Amino acid sequence: MASEADNKAQPPAGSAHFDRLALIGVGLIGSSIARAARRGGLANAIVGCARTEKTRDKAMELGIVDAMYEDPADAVAGADLVIVCSHLGSYATVGKTMAASLMPGAIVTDVGSVKGCVARDLGPHIPEGVHLVPGHPVSGSEKSGPEAGFAELFDGRWWILTPGEEADALAVQRLKAFVQALGSRVEVMTSSRHDLVLAITSHLPHLIAYNIVNTADDMETVTQGEVVKYSAGGFRDFTRIAASDPEFWRDVFLNNREAVLETLGRFTEDLLALQRAIRWGQGDTLLRLFSESRDIRQRIIQAGQDTEAPDFGRRSEPPAEAD
């Protein structure tokens, strides 16, 4: 393992390579970063940190890290790049625990889905001379845990960086090169803009998915067996979204409250208008609104953010009989 006593030459400005990469948390995102960093040869050593022994053992067994630690302080010692990949709710504790061990000149970033809270929770613990550059890879899966990760998760996806106005330009440049080398495309924006864009593109969709699944579960007149049985009509796609990690999403909604409530208000207004069109049999209104949705779908496919392969029928993976 490289130690902070190593006498290293200053890396070139655009270098995507780091000496010691420390991942605080090795779930879906953390373990995927480890895999992609190894694929690209982006660090001399990759170390991780996890609270439970089970996760630490799993990560070592998968061979995606060189060492695993229980204490964030041990993981970040000597690291020139630290990526916080734990739940948003853990940031203040993680920051406090690792603060004293952060190496001067190190870059600290994160992968959280809300960015406004990073300066609030991690910021106060970042020592002078260490560079905080919050970030967010906009890709994911409903799966979680180290075994769910894969090196291709970021390929062609966006990775948003939200450096504050005071951020060190060289640190931003090096982090940018690193996430590009992981396979991502990079965008830089303010944390408040990020939180609003993500509220509509990610947080609201997840909230709605959770809600519809719970509504279905609660419907007294329809047994659960029937809802599950006929879920191929559209419902199962919501359950796929709603299968994401509950703790992760709790933290997102608690930390992006304002933007989520704003978009939720707009959603409800629009839904009431649709409800009214149904009640009054306004077929033209329904047709117009439904047609507009289709256009957006086409733009997403053109932007390379999804494939055109049919998915409802799950053609490529015919379902097994119930077992």
Q: Applying CB under 8 A, which part among 70-78, 91-99, 120-128, 287-295 lies near its own copies?
A: 287-295
Q: Which stretch of DSSP H or E encloses residue 131?
A: strand 131-132
Give least dist CB 51 to its own copies, A: 17
Decide whether 88 or 103 has the Cβ nearer to its own copies.
88
In the range 154-213, which residues lie near its own copies by CB under 8 A? 155-158, 160, 187, 196-198, 200-213
Give least dist CB 259 to its own copies, A: 10
Q: Which stretch of DSSP H or E encloses residue 188?
A: strand 185-188
Residue 238 in contact with its own copies, rule: CB under 8 A: yes
Decide whether 8 or 297 has the Cβ nearer to its own copies.
297
In the range 247-286, which residues lie near its own copies by CB under 8 A? 247, 249-250, 253-254, 257, 260-261, 263-264, 266-268, 270-271, 274-275, 278-279, 281, 283, 286
Give least dist CB 52 to its own copies, A: 18
CA–CA separation, 83 and 179 (whole Å)? 11
Q: Applying CB under 8 A, which part among 12-20, 64-72, 116-124, 151-159 lies near its own copies?
A: 151-159
Give least dist CB 151 to its own copies, A: 10
Q: Rounded to 10 degrees, what is the CA torsion of 284, 289, 291, 297?
A: -170
Give least dist CB 179 to its own copies, A: 15
In the range 126-145, which residues lie near its own copies by CB under 8 A? 138-143
CA-nearest of 249, 10, 242, 15 to 112 is 249
CA–CA separation, 129 and 152 (whole Å)? 33
CA-nearest of 236, 167, 158, 238 to 198 is 158
DSSP string covering 302-318: HTTSS--S--TT-TTSP
**97, 126 in Cβ contact below 8 A?**
no
